[in-house]
Structure 1
Amino acid sequence: RLNITYSYDLRHESGDKADAVLCFAPVVKVPNQLLGAPLGTNVSLECHVEAFPNTINYWVKNRGEMLLDG
């Protein structure tokens, strides 16, 4: 993975500095894409998301039931 920093100097035609927002699409990383566990035991699922603006992330199971613990 590379760490890259973008910088820019945005100016109006008059020469005054202008503000801008750099947006980028979500990048999703799932370290363990296949997990197995005995029925009835706890598992930990991991998912890392980078985006701007920030995303709202949550887990669902079966037919869309939202999991609230983690």
Structure 2
Amino acid sequence: PVLVGAQDTNVEVVLEMARFAEEIGAYGIQASTPYYYRPSDDDALRFYRAVHDATEQIAIMAYNTFWHDY
């Protein structure tokens, strides 16, 4: 399976990358929440839900970065 990195400081860009990855047949994406601020747990859930809702069935691997301390 191929996973495509989908990271940006702009959520809309991440959604566009996720849709493109799905369009080209990637198995899934690796995504982390925007990295210029530390999101709350609710913010992180909203982010991943937005990515999920923007795609049909692509797998999403949450990238746990040390600066977000999840």
Q: Is TM (by shorter chain) over 0.5?
A: no
Q: Which protein is richer in strand relative to its size?
A: 1
TM-score normalised per structure 1: 0.30
TM-score normalised per structure 2: 0.30
Q: Which protein is richer in helix relative to its size?
A: 2
Whose RCO is larger (CA < 8 A, sep 6+)? 2
